[in-house]
Amino acid sequence: MLISESALRTFTESVFTAIGCSPEHSRLAADVLLKSDLRGIDSHGVARLNGYVRLWENKRININPDIRIVHQTATTATVDGDAGLGLIVAPMAMRVAIEKATQYGSGWVAVRNSNHFGIAGYHALMAVEKDMIGFAMTNASPLVSPIYSSERLLGTNPMCYAFPAGKYPPVVVDMATSAAANGKLEIAQRLGKQVPEGWIQDKQGNSTTDPHALKSGGALLPLGSDAEHGGHKGFGLGATVDILSAVLSGANYGPWVPPFVAFLDPPTDPVGLGIGHFVGAMRVDGFRPVDEFKSHLDNWIERFRSSATVDPSQKVIIPGEPEMDADADRRAGGIPLVDAVVKDLNVLAERFGINPLD
Amino acid sequence: MLISESALRTFTESVFTAIGCSPEHSRLAADVLLKSDLRGIDSHGVARLNGYVRLWENKRININPDIRIVHQTATTATVDGDAGLGLIVAPMAMRVAIEKATQYGSGWVAVRNSNHFGIAGYHALMAVEKDMIGFAMTNASPLVSPIYSSERLLGTNPMCYAFPAGKYPPVVVDMATSAAANGKLEIAQRLGKQVPEGWIQDKQGNSTTDPHALKSGGALLPLGSDAEHGGHKGFGLGATVDILSAVLSGANYGPWVPPFVAFLDPPTDPVGLGIGHFVGAMRVDGFRPVDEFKSHLDNWIERFRSSATVDPSQKVIIPGEPEMDADADRRAGGIPLVDAVVKDLNVLAERFGINPLD
């Protein structure tokens, strides 16, 4: 089913309003989810709306949070999200980072007591709009094993770096630090297919190609997959995200991170508050004039895009380019939703007395 | 051959002094190389000393550089290294970052017109000594192909994040953004062995296990190896390092980065000055009290270290731990040097009238 951006936006805002969010918060939360759907990252958009509602039902989300700075210097801060929606908390933290950067050149905010924040790219791109370089990362429910381990100790812990270009869309590196995302496993499960070696291991920690192994106590592998192919580097990146997001902010880290899914209870021995994020902004003109930077980044993009390729039909992909293409297509032609998601959303519509999607 | 730290340090300082470095610069450059040898990263220590001397012979290094800030805000700066040794330029840039962080909470310095800076960990650890989180990255001679490309467009572009712990050594994530380092290929070449799939491709861009393929116009693969295993993420990380280090500073980027080896000439159409680095420091107490952070990082380390493993004889490795163990061993028992390196160094000794290693 294809649905227009504006119809899906109105629908999503209505759901957030129905569970008690203020009009401003409903607009912001819907904007974060819509950005994901527009950019073609279907796993992080309205497909998760029901998940947020379930967390609210389980009293794991505070709909009227008092989001506040609990510690700061001129260019650093820790924000407590008061168990609010990450979709609200993270953009507010990014605003603090941008204000500090405006005044002092850079700004860095660690966030505790938050929740799933949608796509990292949304937050990093807030900085890009101000001719700043944006950074965003978050820890997440433990699904990934360190190299040699048979336990799930890290989330897919995404990191995002976003840079403003001139003629071209921003360069946006927005990536999980695992070899493969959970969404790819779900596709293989639906199709009854095996997955490649190097994505997952079973409960005992042995490599497997069974996409159901994750559900049976297995784990995702870090980027690099195994020790021979640099899996310790993927583990190091996931660890970096965990430490910056949670050890620095006072959130839960490692296996203590509360699960996103409402049917699993958070650990009973927390080491911090909620989940953690880390966001930052640096003014480009803190380093060189903005027009110089942008014209060199354009040149960088052109050189990489025009690279000789193995298969001439397959060009080098500039990070962020496929998402920007999806954004243009979907703004014009509508956002495709699979039947399961439409059904899920229409259950919410009925429950909250909202016009269903059709 | 085993040589004591102090003897190797004295020798290395003498070589830098012999090519004209000031006593202070000779001490600093030797300290960076020795730190690498002590930490067991043999590829980046005194084994490269001859390489720096050759660059000096080819007039590609300025022995008395005027290293200066060319652009800045309260917490950001661009430093021009004046074609000095990266071993000197990068620590000076890090000092600027630490000063800014001391005053404003964080400090970030992009560096242009520099050269190979040794191990990223050296620079990041300078911040850790001040209870700050340290960041260091650099671009490098093009050896890595983006996914789908048959050209070498990126260096192994390492990134380092370093965090101060309490009871334990710092957590140091110091990693090339390629799947495998060049040094591992050289070992396979010497032993006449094939390398695993996923490390390199040949000149046409096809996957190969021949360790000589890199020398014959092939390329290293980014971390993740191929599109199926997240190689676009490794490319994205390498791109991030290139943009922060060079597009932001005004250094050369992508295929324009001048080669480290003196027998290859730099491109004749540079897009900037020298190679680029990016370093930063953030005060831990800009986010939460230092003792709280350290005790939680200790807890993080203990939890990951005590993780159940697939093979009980193989424990989870905390990033930076093997290097710290090597450091303790080598400070006590001496630094092992292979014959080829000793021979190389003794040629320098004879040339400059320095006592040879024996």
In this predicted structure, what is the pLDDT of residue B239? 98
Q: Do domains A1-57+321-358 and A66-179+221-305 have the same CATH topology?
A: no
Query: A66-179+221-305 has which fold?
Result: Ribosomal Protein S8; Chain: A, domain 1 (3.30.1370)
H helices of chain A, in order, are 5-18, 23-38, 49-57, 86-104, 120-128, 182-191, 231-242, 290-305, 321-333, 339-352
CA pair distance B46, B334, nearest whole angstrom: 14
Q: Is B278 on the interface with A (CB under 8 A)?
A: no
Put the strands of the sheet holding B76-80 in their side by side order: B68-72, B76-80, B106-114, B275-283, B132-138, B159-163, B171-175
Enumerate residues 215 to 234 of chain A having a beta carbon within 8 A of any beta carbon in chain B.
223-225, 228-230, 232-234
Are residues B121 and B151 in contact, defined by beta-carbon separation less than 8 angstroms?
A: no
For B71, nearest residue in chain A (alpha carbons) = A287
Instruction: Give the Å distances, CA to CA, from B74 to A29, A74, A286, B170.
Output: 34, 10, 9, 28
Angstrom distance (rounded) from CA B248 to CA A320:
19
Amino acid found at B11: F
* Ordered per-residue pLDDT tens for chain B, 358 residues: 999 999 999 999 999 999 999 999 999 999 999 999 999 999 899 999 999 999 999 999 999 999 999 999 999 999 999 999 999 999 999 999 999 999 999 999 999 999 999 999 999 999 999 999 999 999 999 999 999 999 999 999 999 999 999 999 999 999 999 999 887 888 888 888 999 999 999 999 999 999 999 989 999 999 999 999 999 999 999 999 999 999 999 999 999 999 988 888 999 999 999 999 999 999 999 999 999 999 999 999 999 999 999 999 999 999 999 999 999 999 999 999 999 999 999 999 999 999 999 8
How far is residue B247 CA from its own chain's centroid?
A: 19
pLDDT of amino acid A263: 87
The answer to whether B251 and B114 are in contact (CB under 8 A) is yes
Rounded CA gap, A75 and A316, in Å? 37
Angle between helices A23-38 and A5-18 (to 10 degrees): 140
CB contact under 8 Å between A314 and B223, yes or no, is: no
What stretches of chain B show up as alpha helix (H) in DSSP? 5-18, 23-38, 49-57, 86-104, 120-128, 182-191, 231-242, 290-305, 321-333, 339-352
3-state SS assignment for residue B84: coil
Interface check A307 vs B, CB under 8 A: yes
| DSSP string for A142-193 | S-BPPTTB-S--B----EEEEE--SSSPPEEEEE-SBSS-HHHHHHHHHHT-
Chain B contact for A237 (CB, 8 A cutoff): yes
> Could B204 and A247 be called an inter-chain contact, meaning their C-beta atoms sit closer than 8 Å?
no
- CATH fold for domain A1-57+321-358: Hypothetical Oxidoreductase Yiak; Chain: A, domain 1 (1.10.1530)
HEC secondary structure over B201-215: ECCCCCEECCCCCCC
Architecture of the domain spanning B66-174+230-305: 2-Layer Sandwich (3.30)
The span from the CA of A329 to the CA of A335, in Å, is 9
- CATH topology assigned to domain B180-220: Wheat Germ Agglutinin (Isolectin 2); domain 1 (3.30.60)
ipTM higher than the 0.95 cut: yes
User: Residue B217: which of B226, B208, B229 has the closest Cα?
Assistant: B208
Concatenating the DSSP letter of every residue in A213-267 gives: TTTTT-EEPBTT-SGGGTHHHHHHHHHHHHIIIIITTT---GGGSPPSSTTSPPP
Query: If you average pLDDT over residues A15-21, what whole number do you get?
Result: 98
- How many Cβ atoms sit within 10 Å of the Cβ of residue B204? 11
Q: For chain A, say whether B313 makes contact (Cβ under 8 Å).
A: no
Domain ranges of chain B: 1-57+322-358, 66-174+230-305, 180-220
Among candidate residues B13, B37, B61, the one with its CA nearest the CA of residue B348: B13
Q: What is the structure's pLDDT at B186?
A: 82
Burial call A129-161: b when 16+ CB within 10 Å, e when fewer: eeebbbbbbbbbbbbbbbbbbbbbbbbbbbbbb
B106 touches chain A (CB under 8 A): yes
Encoded tokens for B255: 């295929």
The confidence score (pLDDT) of residue A13 equals 98
Q: Taking the complete model, does pTM exceed 0.95, yes or no?
A: yes
C-alpha distances in Å from residue B33, one per residue of A2, B12, B30, B37, B346: 60, 8, 5, 7, 17
Looking at beta carbons, which residues of chain A come within 8 Å of B307?
A: 146, 149-151, 153
Diameter of chain B by CA atoms? 55
Size of interface A-B (CB pairs under 8 A): 283
Which tokens is A317 given?
């992909």
Look at the domain B1-57+322-358 and name its fold. Hypothetical Oxidoreductase Yiak; Chain: A, domain 1 (1.10.1530)
